[in-house]
Structure 1
């Protein structure tokens, strides 16, 4: 069963799907997996495919859109603010714990790409989280910046500076493409970015408000953002699904950060950043995630006494 829910977050509202498994009345209250996407991504860009697999295995799932994106409220549209998105994660987790249909002490965080970095940071802060899954995670803004084409760096840096000035003057944001061709003014300007990223966008995603651009000011925040540094503070089990040929979140930096987590498990895939959402690669990664969940957060575990 999938329910459309709305979650207040600050002065805005997060749009979300709550998936509930079909369980016998005598079954333990299920764990819940809180989920969100990466740079400019919304729920309709394949989060439902993962959530449906988790629900079929007996888990509940809550997939939400960040404020300023998709069906969530927030103006200006397409404003990617790291602090606000981390606040949205905290809000979504609190909402999940408030639902009587799920076990509040068995909350799992699942994030992909930029959201993969958010779940590392959130898992480090929230010691009540039961487990974390970070899929092709963004862990190091410096590493991603150094991997960027120099011409692209100049182009997006200029737009970011203009957008910062526009924001101070109260003007409309200066936008930058989220995914674009090699050498273009895009946050992800690699050979596989346009075909890979846009392969996740179908008619439903476009109808839900998908837009391949964000306010350019986020460029400076991204370069400073290094959530991988917080992996060493994640005390619960954490799974890193890492793409070995990742053009956006370099695998070398991700592995370096991942290995600092006390209870880390690492799975490597011979694919690029955008490949593991579809086809055979998707099947392998979601199977690994379910195996991890089954071992650490089994659905058959009775509800905790403190719940």
Structure 2
């Protein structure tokens, strides 16, 4: 049971799925960088909804069903403003008492910054999060050919210059094998379709991003906000993650007040693949403890599964 809703951010209408809940808790969600709400959130949103939580899963402006021109352009400042607007909108939904935020990959990094600045958030989940753009970019370059890297840099420069004079974006694929011009060429990025659109679902999802979006993402370091986080934050870390890397996230978790951690084997998309049940059950237990504290909840729901650490 979900319904289409929208809210305004920066004068642009952002489209969202709203799953009405019954327990007073609401989870605000988006997909990864360039990933729209359906492939990015459906599997987790459905589980959160089934447990009684309201869910607001939205598309950033310029992507999916949200407005904004030019299309496929991801500006970090704008996307953070979209999050702030979504959180504010969530507090107006019927029977919502407490709000949590959830995202993965680069938007998983947004979670840290937002949790550091938003006093109205009761809990946060950063899943397979990119928390240190420069470190992640250096690692990703190891999986690209020299020719492919030069073509990507050239396209990003040309697109950034074109943006200054209003030219349409030059698009690149979200993922591809080494040698192709893509946002990611890491081995686990090649599992994107398997993880996010099994059975060729979500045929309308355009798996591209503007090349002008890549340089700002490469320098974004949300880990610096970790010591200022104001609410409980669960880090979901994949030990073999080559697209976001586990080491910077583990370091951020150590600097985050009131942090919790679950480590699972596998690459970037392990929470959508083999580790899905372990991760979603841990996230549900975390949400129950921090959004429903003091309510009449089963004692078994007040602890994280033993798989968490």
Structure 2 length normalisation: TM-score?
A: 0.89
The alpha-carbon deviation at position 292 of structure 1 amounts to: 1.1
Structure-2 residue corresponding to 1:109: 101
Q: Does 1:220 align with 2:215?
A: yes
Q: Report the number of matched residues.
A: 291
Does the 8 Å CA contact 1:34/1:92 hold for their aligned counterparts? yes
Match of residue 266 from structure 1: 261
Secondary structure of the structure 2 residue equivalent to 1:130 = strand
Output the CA distance in 1 between the equivalents of 2:208 and 2:12: 21
Partner Cα distance (1:70, 1:118) in 2: 19
Mapping of residues 120-131 of structure 1, within 5 Å: 120-131=112-123
Q: Post-superposition shift, 1:130?
A: 0.3
| Alignment partner, residue 256 of structure 1 | 251
Q: What is the Cα deviation at residue 11 of structure 1?
A: 2.2
Listed as ranges, the matches of 1:155-166 within 5 Å are: 155-166=151-162
Structure 1: runs of 5 or more not aligned: 24-28, 303-307
What SS is found at the alignment partner of 1:4?
Answer: strand
Q: Is the 8 A contact 1:124 1:235 kept in 2?
A: yes
1:68 to partner: Cα distance: 0.7
Q: 2:132 aligns with which of 129, 137, 140?
A: 140
Structure 1's consecutive aligned runs of 4 or more residues displaced over 4 angstroms after TM superposition are none
Quick one: distance in 2 between partners of 1:292 and 1:149? 35
RMSD of equivalent CA atoms? 1.7
CA offsets per residue over residues 80-106 of structure 1, 9 Å max, x none? 110110000000001001123311xx1
Q: Map 1:234-249; keep pairs closer than 5 Å.
A: 234-249=229-244
Q: In the alignment, which of 50, 55, 58 is matched to residue 56 of structure 1? A: 50
Matches of 1:168 and 1:61, distance apart in 2 = 37
Structure 2 unaligned spans of 5+: 297-309
Q: CA deviation at 1:190?
A: 1.5
Report the 3-state secondary structure (helix = DSSP H, G, I; strand = E; otherwise coil) of the residue aligned with 1:127.
coil
